[in-house]
Amino acid sequence: MNQYESAIVSVGSILENFDHDKLFPVYGFGGIPWYNRAAGVSHCFNLTGVDNPCVYGTHGILQAYKNSFLNGTGLYGPTMFSYFLEILINDIESRQPVNEYTVILIITDGAIHDMEKTKD
């Protein structure tokens, strides 16, 4: 496993024990997704390539990550987090209020090109 895959397994195997349905939405950023190359670089795209971004368990997260690259998703900069976070926050806020936590795990090489906007 590469370092990203190790991080997915290490964190995912802990977090999935606290999730009742073990369904996790999985997104990518800063890439050209295999299923929509014509659109160019996307700063938030569904790794599964279907309407539903959810996968089951840590194994599902790891498979979505691996399959995305096997299918031809390419990584491209710059890394912009603000758009990605805005979409996720809007999705979380649109859900019916329930007593639950949301954990967002972002795995990146560390280069963030919109740091001020991301902090805002």
pLDDT tens-digit map of 26-71: 999 989 998 888 888 999 999 998 989 999 999 999 999 999 999 9
DSSP string of 74-92, one letter each residue: EE-S----HHHHHHHHHHH
Range of the domain at 107: 3-119
Which own/partner contact pairs does 98-107 have at CB distance under 8 Å and 24+ positions apart? 103/15, 105/7, 105/11, 105/12, 105/15, 106/81, 107/4, 107/7, 107/8
Tokens of 73: 């998703």
Give pLDDT tens digits for 1-12. 999 999 999 999
Domain count, the chain: 1
Residue 97, pLDDT above cutoff 80: no
Percent of the chain with pLDDT over 90: 53
- What is the pLDDT at residue 116? 93
Task: Out of 8-17, 32-41, 92-101, 108-117, give the one with best mean pLDDT.
Answer: 8-17
**C-alpha angle with apex 41: 37 to 44, nearest 5 degrees?**
105
Whether residue 118 is predicted with pLDDT greater than 90 in this model: the reply is: no
Q: Give SS3 for 102.
A: coil
Inform me whether the pLDDT recorded for 96 exceeds 80: no
pLDDT at 107: 87
Q: Number of helices and strands (H, E) in the chain?
A: 4, 6
Q: How far apart are CA 35 and CA 56, in angstroms?
A: 21
